């Protein structure tokens, strides 16, 4: 089995991981209920997306059951 000849330096590991940083999600506020929501995502509070209802509210579903 092939075995590494030398130990990798800390700098080599660090430079490899230089591109591994995570970026935070882009957040916007819902135009209907002003909740903070990630972009391109249905608002979990009111179920609106692109100015219309696309998902029933959580409270309505719980009441129906």
CB of 48 to Zn ion, least distance (A): 5
Tell me the DSSP string of 1-65. ----SSPPPHHHHHHHGGG----PPPEEE-TTT--EEETTS--TTT-EETTEE-S--HHHHHHH-
CB of 23 to Zn ion, least distance (A): 24
Segment contacting Zn ion by CB under 5 A, of 6-14, 21-29, 36-44, 53-61? 36-44
Among 16, 27, 28, 33, binds Zn ion (CB under 5 A): 33
Segment contacting Zn ion by CB under 5 A, of 4-12, 15-23, 45-53, 55-63? 45-53
């Amino acid at each position: 089995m092939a075995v590494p000849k030398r130990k990798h330096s800390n700098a080599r590991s660090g430079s490899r991981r230089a591109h591994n940083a995570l970026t935070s999600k882009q957040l916007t506020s819902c135009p209907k209920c002003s909740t903070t929501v990630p972009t391109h995502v249905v608002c979990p509070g009111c179920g609106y997306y692109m100015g219309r209802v696309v998902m029933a509210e959580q409270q309505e579903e719980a009441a129906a059951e």
